[in-house]
Amino acid sequence: MKPRYFDAASSEPLHPAARETLLAALEHGYADPRRLHDPARNARLMLENAREVFASCLGVRADEVTFTPSGTHAVHLGVLGLLAGRARTSNVLARSAVEHSSVVHAGNWHAARGGEVVELPVDITGRVTVDLPDRELAAIALQAANHEVGTLQPVAEMAAPGDVPLFMDACAAAGRIDLPQGWSAAAVSAHKWGGPAGVGALLLRKGARWRNPFPGDDRVDERGTGFENVPAALAAAAALQAVSAERDELAARQHGLIEEIRNEVARTVPDVEVVGDAERRLPHLVTFSCLYVDGEALVSELNRRGFAIASGSACTASTLEPSHVLAAMGVLTHGNVRLSLTHDASAEDVRAFLAELPDVVRRLREEAGL
C-alpha cells in the first residue's frame, strides 16, 4: 500500500506542473547560459523566464533573484553576505532561538571567525517576544515561519526599527503564505513547494548592503556560484506558479484539516502536548509531543501502518538529538512528531491517521511498561 505522506515540510512531492516542465526543459536547457550560440541563448531565456516567475510569485524584482544549489546555500549567502556588508559597523548577529539549523550553522561559522551571535528567546508558541538588544547590530536573522511548529514570526515588526538589515529564512513559508515585508535578504527552497530538489534562491533587495562572503564566480549572476540547473529552475518556477494560483483555497482547506488534527489529538491521546501557535501559523503543519513515548518508535510504528511522518528536529532527527526549537519554547521535546500536509492530502487521509494514532501511542506505552 502506498504510504500516506505527511512530511511535506521536509520535501513536497514533485508537483505535476514541475514534472511536465522538467521533462520538456531537459531537452532544451542543457547549454551554458553565458555563451553566445543559439542553444546557450535558449538556455538563458529559460533561466530568465524562471527568474521572472519567481519574482512575480514572491513579490520581488527579477534582478533580486539569484538561483542557488539549495535553500541552505541561499541562507548562508544571505546571512553571511549581510554581515560582510556591515563589517565596519558591527560584527554582531542577532537571531531567534528557533532558527533553522542552516542559520545556526552560519552564525557558528561567523562566531568562529571572530564574530558574535546573540540569541533572541521565544515564548511558548515559538514566537519572538523580546525587543532587540540595546547595542549595535550587523544583522538580524528571523524566519518567516517556523519549520517545526509552524508559528509565524513578526518579521515586519522586527525589521521596522533603525537600519539594521534583516535576513528572512522563507524556505518553510514560500508558496504557502504571503511573505512579510521589511527584510533585506531572504532564502527560499523549491522542494518545499513541489519543485525539484537542488534549487534554491537568494532574494536580495536592491540597495541592500551585501557583499559576497565566498569566492566569486564568473556566472551570469555574479552573486551565484556554479552552473545553474536550468531545467530544474524552470520546473521549480512552474510548481511555484501553480501553488501560488491555488494558495488561498489550499491554505483554507489545510488550515481546517490541521485544526482538526490539533483538536482530535488533544482529545483522544492522553498526556499529549500540541505545540505552536493555534492560529498564527503555517496552514499545513502541526507538531505534538506524546509523554512516555519515544518519537522514533512512534514514527517507525506509524510508518509500518502506512503513514510517513517526521520526528525530532526537522534537520537532525537522524542524530536523535532533542529539537532545539522545542527546547527553546520550553515544551516537551520527548516523543514529538510533526505532520505536514501535501497539496493533495485529503480529509480521508487525515482521519485515517487520527483513527490509528491513539492505538499506536497506547501500544508503545504498554511496551514501555506504562
Q: CA 196 → CA 15, 67, 191, 237, distances in Å?
A: 9, 13, 5, 10
Residues with Cβ within 8 Å of 239's Cβ and at least 6 positions away in sequence, in order, are 14, 15, 17, 18, 175, 190, 193, 194, 195
Distance CA 288, CA 44 (A): 46
Q: Which of 57, 171, 290, 315 is catalytic?
A: 315
Question: Widest CA span of the chain, in angstroms?
Answer: 71
Whether 66 contacts 206, CB under 8 Å: no
Residues with Cβ within 8 Å of 50's Cβ and at least 6 positions away in sequence, in order, are 67, 230, 233, 234, 236, 237
Catalytic residue status for 315: yes
- For residue 330, which of 144, 153, 155, 149 has the smallest C-alpha distance? 149
Whether 5 contacts 187, CB under 8 Å: no
Instruction: Specify the pairing of strand 307-308 against strand 200-204.
Output: unpaired
Q: Measured at the alpha carbon of residue 84, what is the angle toward residues 132 and 128, in degrees to the nearest 5?
A: 25
- What DSSP line would sit under 75-98, residue for residue? HHHHHHHHHHHTTTT--EEEEETT
Q: Which amino acid is at 202?
A: L
- Torsions phi, psi of 300, nearest 5? -65, -45
- Residue 190: all three cell numbers together: 523549491
Distance CA 331, CA 338 (A): 14
Which residues are known to be catalytic?
Answer: 315
